[in-house]
Structure 1
Amino acid sequence: MALVQRATDLGSWRFAWSLADALRPYMMRRAYAADWLAVASAGLVAAEADGNPAGQATAHRSLSSAYLNRSDYEKSTFHDGRALELYRRTGSAEGQAATHNSLSLALWYGGRLEEALAHGLRGADLCRATGFRLGEAITLGNPGAILHELGRRPVCRSGLH
């Protein structure tokens, strides 16, 4: 955490946001909310200073995940919205798919089931379109559970194609 902040303070923008992104899986496993938010925030500052939209998108995704972990669905959704815009700009279908999946979770947990369903299905569609079969399989879990919660069990049974 201190290294990301120090690199940001010294103007080593690319190193700082890349390190912040590399730490995301560790932060996700450990779920140290305050540290995670500090690292992701420093990564966002660095990516913005670097003018790197891909770095900004990854920082927003990390912030979204940290807020999702804290059950702050409004902030999670905000950061995913920013990430989605940036991934669209950079043309990253994989980033868009992951972000739609994350939006699906935040909206679902926040009780916005129809929106959650739409984002989950869009994420699965993007995975399918790019041939990312594992991502498609993982992403379809959310819409299936949401459809079940909405009482649309026949759609669940018939498959989500």
Structure 2
Amino acid sequence: MIIINNFEEYQSYAGKDLGVSDWHTIDQEQINRFADATLDHQWIHTDPQKAAEQGAFKSTIAHGYLTLSLIPYLWKQIAEIRNIKMEINYGVERLKFGQPVLVNDAVQLQAKLHSIVNLRGVAKVVIEATLHIKGQNKPAYNGDVVFLYHFE
């Protein structure tokens, strides 16, 4: 894990890989809880029997947005940003889903600092985020995640 204390330290990582998170296994219980939270109960996510019999992947798959929602959790395993008053999830840009995450797949976030700029005291940080699936060559997704940091 890297520790960043201020804008200048953050800026020193521009263009560099920041690291990878631990592996996180997405099980059926997590998929079902996400379905409940988002009201998206499509059978490809929530019905293991139907997915095994009729689905293209022969098992349930995680919602794409579930995998995306793991970014804050996995990001905190890569970097600790200190001395901030506030951190804001500002956006996602140029995101492409490469392949589905099957139930019980383990995923890992890889992060690279694409850019950082000072916007009148607020650091706008663009992280290139790639979600890898254990045992797969193609990632679940790749895109840019944008954070705003208000350093003290």
Normalising by structure 1, report the TM-score. 0.20
Higher normalized helix content (fraction of residues): 1
Taking CA–CA contacts closer than 8 Å with sequence separation of 6 or more, which of the two structures ends up with the larger relative contact order? Answer: 2
